A and B are shown apart, each in its own frame.
Chain A
Amino acid sequence: MKCIVPGANIKILARAIHCLSKIGDEMYVHPQEKCISFRSVNMANSAYANFTFHENYFSYYIFGDDDEKDTLKCKISIRSIMAVFKTPNALDKQVETCHIKLQPNASKLIFMLKYKNNITKTYLLPIIDSEMMEAVYNKESISNKLTSHSKVLIDAVQNFQQNLVELTIQITPQKVILRNYIDETCTLSKITRTHLALDLSEFVNYNVETETTITFCMKELRAILNFAESVGLSLGIHFETAGRPVIFTIETTSFEANVVLSTLNPDVTSAIDKSAGGKREQSLQKKAANKKSFKKSANTVNRRTINNSKISTKTGNATSNIQSASIKDNHDVSLINTDSNTLVNMGNGHSENDHVMQNNSERITREVFNYNEKPSTSKSILHRESIDSRNLINSVFSNMPKRKTCNERVDVSDTSDDEDTVPNSPPPAKKARSIFQKCFQKTFDPKIMLPGHDRILAEDSDEHSD
């Protein structure tokens, strides 16, 4: 495969690479008959980006023989390609052409930059693996679609805090409400809540059939928004419901960009909430917090599953074609780790009997008790549940009174139990007290015990006066 990118188009490629670098650590290069794709997936398999450049993006594009087809694909490190496109802004002005070469079964991917001042830079990027990765999703089948100028969305997103991890979008037939996602573990009094409504007139295309609320990561959204802004194109958002992936698209005649993000699954979260697993999730987060991780609980859960799916991907490795399982089909819905998987399945499968549920929740209850929760947090969870249950009319659980009772039982016992078991945090260690222990005892009388106690060796220093 050999292709040449004309100088004017290099900036787009450079920006695309920068966007991919925000998503994953590795980049998959997959040349095809009439186009070339650059893809990346994040460690958690919850975000995937695909940039496909068509033949007309290039000034020259040759794919090669058909029999080479299977060998022409590779995986390289993002770091190595970033060395080529270090400064996307400057590249535009200085570079005349960029050649990309990939030989069948090669060990190096070749990027050649020809500068206007006749300097030629050739980068031989080591190929880590010869494999292909493609996520399976079908954006055509998705009925809900919004299209907006990137500027509008960038301005909207700028209103949120820079360190925001997840964004919730509530879509109604008239408007879109963006708000920062607050997970139940945060103390509400300490959080800034930002709501921003975008009227449908702000959008180029507004096609919403079902109202829905979705929550996804901000980092990848920022990456694709920055790309959209740099190329000055509008961004399409395809979505179904919470728990199903959201797809951001940028399309022109010469290239196409798709970013698929998994969304937070309220079924899963609520299922856990309902069965007091919400606490479990919290404790998960606590563990994460102990490790000084700033990921939100939802992320923790996500990550875990994804690890599971990663394993399945690994096994799939043998058959050269890997598909990231988490994004694939329904897998996204079951974004929960093995333990809670039983929970989810239980929730989804109506036939499960109460006995199992009882057992399960008891097990979880026990687990919960291993963690020292403060009563106040459990209250806030209850509060949260009431909010959540509104959103989850479809959820199987809300139809199950039995579930509720057992849930209540859990919460009640939780609260009472907590009061007994929660030990007070130890008082801060005071060195002085341990060193001069005797002096702090009530029986201590300096007049008797310390000769010369009234002799002042150093006068109090003068008070500072202005």
Chain B
Amino acid sequence: MIPNANDYKFVAKLGNLRTVVQLLKSVNFKETATCFGTDNGLKITVEDAKCMQASAYIPVDVFQEFKLKEEVIFRINLNVLVECLCMFWSDINSQSSSVAAQLFYKGTGHPVTMLIEENGIITDCSLKTQELGELLDFHLDAEDVLNKIVLQTDLLKDVLAELDGTSEFIELLLSPEAPYFRISTDGIAGECRIELPRDSDLVESFECNTTANSCYKLAHIKPAMKALYCANKVSMRTDDCGLLCFQYMVKTDAGQTCYVEYYISPVIDVE
């Protein structure tokens, strides 16, 4: 039943799946994902409309077993992967989870095989890999970063949950002077401006050098909020073009740290 591990370029085994499934779900706003297996771990990247990109990083120490002959890149349907894992969600989500998953990948042209084991019952899933597409290289160089804020997620959770859904855009103002950090929406119900404090206990660092005002589509921000619910900390950075980066720090039950990252490009012309 269990394939011979030597035939495969990439073999990985996961014991505690709860956080991993949460990470996968939080980047699953589009169905196609590109996975990178490197010596550091597994990175799953999802891109939408060439203007937003999300990546989930699962470091090596989260895996019970991580064997890599050479670096691999494969593209799969993330919906299918998440659905397969979610069949066992009630068990995965419980404290004494006994679900384990093992991933095998032979190389280009081969499917990714996933074995999910629950109490001795093995489910064998085979995910077709797809032709690799082009991925945009979003990155923020340290020298381009205008503003950087590190927050406890609790502060943002309530604020973003209550955002006016009828608004098409969301405006973000970061400034070294008052009002420091402001989120504005303009929907059917009227305009709403939310000002967040700079010096609260929940704000770990607030580094703003210049006043930056940028506008994003609410539809792009919404998926980036999904990770708020499983994350502990979030860092927000913007550069001089207005490119926004959210970096979430997610702690697994065993104490390891995973990351989820979102890049969102701004709306340049708002009429």
A residues whose Cβ falls under 8 Å from a Cβ of B: 77, 79-80, 82-83, 86, 94, 108, 117-126
Contacts and interface: CB of A to CB of B under 8 A. Distances in A.
B189 A77 contact: yes
A121 B158 CA distance: 12
Contacts of B159: 119
B111 to A, nearest CB: 42
Given A80-B190, A125-B190, A126-B190, A117 B200 contact: yes
30 contacts: A79-B189, A80-B188, A80-B189, A80-B190, A82-B189, A83-B164, A83-B189, A86-B162, A108-B191, A117-B197, A117-B202, A119-B158, A119-B159, A119-B195, A119-B196, A119-B197, A120-B193, A120-B195, A121-B193, A121-B194, A122-B192, A122-B193, A122-B194, A123-B190, A123-B192, A123-B193, A124-B190, A124-B193, A125-B189, A125-B190
Nearest to B188: A79
B206 to A, nearest CB: 12
Contacts of A80: 188-190
Contacts of A83: 164, 187, 189-190, 192
B197 A118 contact: yes
Nearest to A124: B191
Interface of B: 155, 158-159, 162, 164, 187-197, 199-200, 202
A273 B195 CA distance: 62
A122 B190 contact: no
B192 A124 contact: yes
Nearest to B203: A118
A119 B194 contact: yes
Given A83-B164, A86-B162, A119 B190 contact: no
A34 to B, nearest CB: 28
A124 B197 CA distance: 20
B173 to A, nearest CB: 13
A83 B185 CA distance: 12
Contacts of B197: 117-119
Q: Counting chain B CB atoms within 10 Å of each CB, which of A79, A82, A118, A126 scores highest? A: A118
Closest 9 CB pairs of A and B: A118-B197, A124-B191, A80-B189, A83-B189, A120-B195, A125-B190, A122-B193, A80-B190, A121-B194
A124 B191 CA distance: 5
Contacts of A86: 162
B188 A123 contact: no
A208 to B, nearest CB: 45
Of B187, B192, B200, B202, which is in contact with the most chain A CB atoms at under 10 Å from its CB?
A: B192
A71 B158 CA distance: 36
A117 B190 contact: no
Contacts of B189: 77, 79-80, 82-83, 125
Contacts of B190: 80, 83, 108, 123-126
Nearest to A117: B200
A121 B179 CA distance: 12
B195 A123 contact: no
Given A83-B164, A86-B162, A121 B192 contact: yes
Nearest to B164: A83
Contacts of A126: 190
Contacts of A94: 158
Contacts of B162: 86
Contacts of A77: 189
Contacts of B155: 117, 119
A123 B162 CA distance: 12
Contacts of B188: 79-80
B195 A122 contact: yes
A21 to B, nearest CB: 12
- A77, A94, A119 interface centre (most CB from chain B within 10 Å): A119
B90 to A, nearest CB: 29
Nearest to A81: B189
A108 B162 CA distance: 21
A115 to B, nearest CB: 8
A110 to B, nearest CB: 10
Contacts of A125: 189-190
B124 to A, nearest CB: 37
Contacts of B200: 117-118
A423 B38 CA distance: 81
